[in-house]
Amino acid sequence: TYMGYGILTIFGYLRDFLRQWNIEKCHVAREREEQKDFVPLYQDFENFYTRNLYMRIRDNWNRPICSVPGAKMDLVQRVSYNYNWTFEHTGKVVKDVINMGSYNYLGFAENTGACADAAIEVTQQYGVGVGSTRCEMGNLGIHEELEQLVARFLGVESSMAFGMGFATNSMNIPALTGKGCLILSDELNHASLVLGARLSGSTIRVFKHNNMQSLEKLLRDAIVHGQPRTHRPWKKILIVVEGIYSMEGSIVRLPEIIALKKRYKAYLYLDEAHSIGALGPNGRGVVDYFGLDPKDVDIMMGTFTKSFGAAGGYIGGRKELIDYLRRHSHSALYATSMSPPVAQQIITSMKIIMGEDGATLGADRLRQLSENTTYFRRKLHDMGFIIYGNDDSPVVPMMLYMPAKIGAFGREMMKRNIGTVVVGFPATPIIESRARFCISAAHTSEMLDTVGHACSCPKNKIHDFIHISLKNPFKGHQPAFVECFEEPLFPSLEKPALAISQTMESEKRSGGR
């Protein structure tokens, strides 16, 4: 993997050299000749990765979707004639692409049903926009109803809703901590948490992912040594973690963190963006999953953008905390109120999850999500793939490692009408590139079988299979790979060595590799 990145880097410098001497056409934004003596606007080296690595496989991202992002979706077809620098739409639509990338955990991203009907009704009553902040003229009755429902759903005293999930973290953490405070952050926390911690002006120390020994050591050091130079006690120590980590699929070790928090008198900020609605017997997130008391978490944060099929975020906790945020949070004071139909989408979907619609649809979706997650994870594991995360996590990262496989996997899956998310550096460590599947209650077992079959079916990579077989004949690979070919790849599975020899001889005669 390192060698692959090394080769790409060498060729990147070579192409930059060719661009500098106008041998290769340069598509990069740069200063005009008459501006060459100005302070540079574009730092070439900072954009090296984007220019020479990301641009080669940019067709795997930013695909326009022209339908509801449900279990299946429609994509606008596009082509590039200059190696992904620009794209043109062909006017065609790729129909019924299996959607394995959206965070539609409970399948509420739909334009029919109870949620859609309720949102239409509210749109006719309130319109789609408010045009003001909550503290001015933008506080509607539907916002009050939403916050009361969220508090009841979480099992806390009070809650507050925000129009943007990212801003819920980045704008509220600075209101909770400041200079003289210490933030202990998991090394894999989301960018919104990192930004909020930096904006707060607090001292930030990072502990290893889900490592309780690392966290306890930082807590002990903070208590013993206090603030740098002055050694005064910290005004506040805030532990910041997530419920499910979106790139790892791992679930936070919440019981142990709560025990440490109580022992060292710290505060806990829990981001449940991916776990609320997707974990626990009642869909109430990681607290429900472990059977803990919500009062043990000081600040409960989450988003409505995933399990609820809507937008925005919330913070729940004690009434004193929420009242304080209403007066001091930048997101509360300056951001426009949540759109009324979005608020109604959340209310309706949350009531379905809670069973207050008088039916069992919410419980059925929660059970279906759990079954789909277990089934798909076991299927990939049995095929011999390396997957990360907890067995109950609907986020399923499948490791690709090598940079060349990032683009190749995304394109091959797209050829089979499967939309996947492939991720590499800098979103992941440089040697841990991966494909990330997000399981939904809307997926059927047939869809998951199709995806698993496609993952194990590299028809144009026969030599890869022969290499694996020669190294370790048929151990964990044979069934998944052989069934992909229209004709048997090997005439006799009883004698793999003879079969491999015959296949290689036939390829030599036919001029193949």
- The CATH number covering residue 44 comes to 3.90.1150.10
pLDDT, one tens digit for every residue, the chain (513 residues): 999 999 999 999 999 899 888 898 888 777 777 877 888 776 666 688 888 889 999 999 999 999 999 999 999 999 999 889 999 999 999 999 999 999 999 999 999 999 999 999 999 999 999 989 988 888 999 999 999 999 999 999 999 999 999 999 999 999 999 999 999 999 999 999 999 999 999 999 999 999 999 999 999 999 999 999 899 999 999 999 999 999 999 999 999 999 999 999 999 999 999 999 999 999 999 999 999 999 999 999 999 999 999 999 999 999 999 999 999 999 888 999 999 999 999 999 999 999 998 889 999 999 999 999 999 999 999 999 999 999 999 999 999 999 989 999 999 999 999 999 999 887 888 899 999 999 999 999 999 999 999 988 654 453 353 344 334 444 444 333 333 333 333 333 333 444 444 444 444 444 443
Number of independent structural domains in the chain: 2
DSSP letter, residue 252: P
Is position 160 within any domain? yes
pTM given for the model: 0.85
Bridge partner list, 204: 183
- Spatial contact of 301 and 169, defined as CB atoms under 8 Å apart: yes
Q: DSSP string of 230-251?
A: T-PPPSEEEEEEESB-TTT-PB
Both tokens of 155, joined, read: 């099992």
Query: Are 184 and 254 within one domain?
Result: yes
Give the span between the Cα atoms of 418 and 454, in whole angstroms: 9
Give the span between the Cα atoms of 235 and 324, in whole angstroms: 17
Is position 67 within any domain? yes
Is position 202 within any domain? yes
Alpha-helical (H) ranges within 424-510 are: 445-455, 462-471, 478-482, 496-509
Is position 472 within any domain? no
Query: Are 270 and 368 within one domain?
Result: no
Q: What's the angle, vertex CA 390, arms to CA 411 and CA 240, rounded to 5?
A: 100
Could you tell me the CATH number of the domain that includes residue 127?
A: 3.40.640.10
Residue 85 phi, psi (nearest 5): -75, -40
Q: Which amino acid is at 425?
A: F
Query: Are 193 and 302 within one domain?
Result: yes
Count of CB atoms within 10 A of residue 22's CB?
8
Cα torsion 443, 449, 455, 457: sign? negative
Q: Which amino acid is at 334?
A: Y
Count of CB atoms within 10 A of residue 123's CB?
15
Query: Are 269 and 346 within one domain?
Result: yes
Length of the chain measured in residues = 513
Cα torsion 291, 294, 299, 300: sign? positive
Burial bucket for residue 104 (CB in 10 Å: 0-12, 13-18, 19+): buried
- Spatial contact of 332 and 160, defined as CB atoms under 8 Å apart: yes
Query: Are 89 and 124 within one domain?
Result: no
Given 336, 354, 372, which residue is the final one in a domain? Answer: 354
Give the 3-state secondary structure of residue 139: coil
Helix H or strand E segment including 203: strand 203-207
Which domain does 252 fall in, by range?
A: 114-354
Residue 162 phi, psi (nearest 5): -130, 155
